[in-house]
């Protein structure tokens, strides 16, 4: 396929179909409502683009790695909301690879039709990056498991219908050998969700509790006590996506806009050597990361397994996010420091525009200032979530470099 023609098709779609209020809220870092996200997902579903990495057999577009990359780039640089990566880039591919035919027929069509939303139950209060030490128990009783325990930092659990959950089914086995993977209905008796509110006031993370939850054995993915193999497969997909190339392209575009609108001593930042140098360094790092991610996407497309070295993409991408957010705050300066919680979830005519006058004749406040500091603080968690950088370095040293 002509990739340039495909890029123009995606660009035209997002620019004509994405509601302007949603585009502006994403661009400025304001929280979207659930209905706003849903409306955009429905448009992608109706176009056949809701699951960009899926094969045609299961409702995906069957795109090449290059097409998927172009799609994600155009979505990001045109300020479309992030897709539901947990459902379509993690749980879905795992079921396509490891699920039974019955599980595939039961769940995949409902994912792609938006009937069911998924979250991932991995981390626990005492088992974060050291995932093998998880303690949520699943005791088999006939054709069911009885699940007790808790998961934490569970993204979007409050909006999810199902959770892909790691549980301990053999407490006597070595840590990695006593784990199984279960598909758990969030509406079952004994499942409860409590919010964890972020520094920007958003509810994204949650803690999920399981109190004698009865789960059918036929909802186990893979063999009993072999869930670690399945888990590693999901983590490979997660770390490929946590390279965050698309997100970083959006951040780089924001930085460019800041450089074109913020002055320092009467000179635009884009003409200041210190800003230009840091901006170009970030740009080079992003393009290097994008090329490397493409190489790994081609490996995955060929059917080869993604090895432990894929973890370096998460390391590089998450650090790049932080450095971009740090430069944004440094560039905007002190006016980025005041925190307005309401501004992170409310948007409208009251939001400052570039030509709004300040009191006492001061320069107008930059439009990105309201959310800049909180975005920087939230990004500190990017080198923790999905496996901390310290653990990732240890894994790469041991499993890749044989140190």
Alpha carbon separation from 237 to 84, 89, 159, 195, 312 (Å, rounded): 14, 7, 22, 26, 13
Residue bearing tokens 């659930």: 34
Q: Of 41, 89, 238, 335, which one is the catalytic site residue?
A: 238
User: Helices 65-77 and 3-17: crossing angle, nearest 10°?
Assistant: 30
What's the CA gap between 17 and 192, in Å, rounded?
36
DSSP 309: G
DSSP codes joined into one string, 159-228: G-SEEEEEEES-TTS-GGGGEEEEEEETTSTTEEEEEEE-TTS-EEEEEEEEEEEEEEGGGEESSTTBHH
Contacts for 124 with CB less than 8 Å, ≥ 6 apart: 134, 135, 136, 149, 150, 151, 152
User: Residue 248: which of 18, 24, 77 has the closest Cα?
Assistant: 77
304 is catalytic: no
What's the CA gap between 31 and 403, in Å, rounded?
44
The set of catalytic residues is 238
């Amino acid at each position: 396929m002509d990739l340039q023609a495909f890029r123009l098709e995606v660009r035209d779609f997002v620019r004509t179909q994405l509601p302007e209020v949603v585009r502006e809220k994403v661009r400025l870092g304001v929280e979207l409502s659930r209905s706003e996200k849903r409306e955009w997902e429905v448009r992608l579903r109706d176009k056949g683009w809701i699951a960009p990495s899926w094969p045609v057999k299961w409702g995906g577009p069957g795109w090449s790695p290059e097409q998927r990359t172009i799609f994600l780039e155009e979505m990001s640089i045109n300020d479309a909301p992030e897709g539901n990566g947990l459902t379509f880039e993690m749980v879905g591919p795992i079921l396509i690879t490891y699920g039974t035919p019955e599980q595939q027929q039961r769940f995949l069509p409902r994912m792609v039709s938006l009937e069911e939303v998924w979250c991932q139950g991995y981390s626990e209060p005492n088992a974060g990056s050291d995932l093998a030490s998880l303690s949520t128990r699943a005791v088999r009783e006939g054709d069911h498991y009885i699940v007790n325990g808790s998961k934490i930092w569970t993204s979007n659990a409050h909006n999810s219908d199902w959770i892909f959950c790691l549980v301990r089914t053999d407490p006597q086995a070595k840590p990695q050998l006593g784990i199984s993977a279960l598909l758990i209905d969030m509406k079952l008796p004994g499942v409860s969700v409590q919010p964890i509110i972020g520094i920007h006031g958003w509810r994204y993370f949650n803690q999920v509790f399981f109190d004698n939850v009865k789960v059918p054995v036929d909802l186990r993915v893979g063999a009993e006590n072999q869930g670690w193999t399945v888990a590693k497969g999901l983590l490979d997909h997660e770390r490929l996506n946590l390279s965050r190339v698309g997100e970083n392209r959006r951040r780089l575009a924001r930085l460019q806009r800041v450089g074109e609108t913020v002055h320092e001593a009467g000179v635009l930042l884009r003409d200041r050597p210190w800003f230009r140098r840091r901006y170009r360094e970030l740009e080079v790092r992003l393009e290097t990361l994008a090329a490397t991610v493409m190489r790994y996407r081609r490996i995955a497309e060929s059917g080869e397994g993604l090895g432990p070295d894929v973890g370096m993409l998460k390391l590089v991408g998450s650090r790049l996010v932080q450095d971009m957010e740090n430069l944004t705050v440094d560039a905007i300066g002190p006016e980025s420091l005041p925190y307005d919680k309401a501004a992170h979830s409310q948007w409208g005519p009251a939001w400052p525009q570039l030509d709004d006058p300040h009191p006492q004749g001061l320069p107008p406040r930059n439009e990105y200032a309201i959310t800049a500091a909180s975005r920087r603080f939230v990004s500190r968690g990017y080198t923790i979530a999905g496996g901390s950088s310290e653990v990732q370095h240890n894994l790469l040293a041991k499993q890749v470099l044989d140190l």
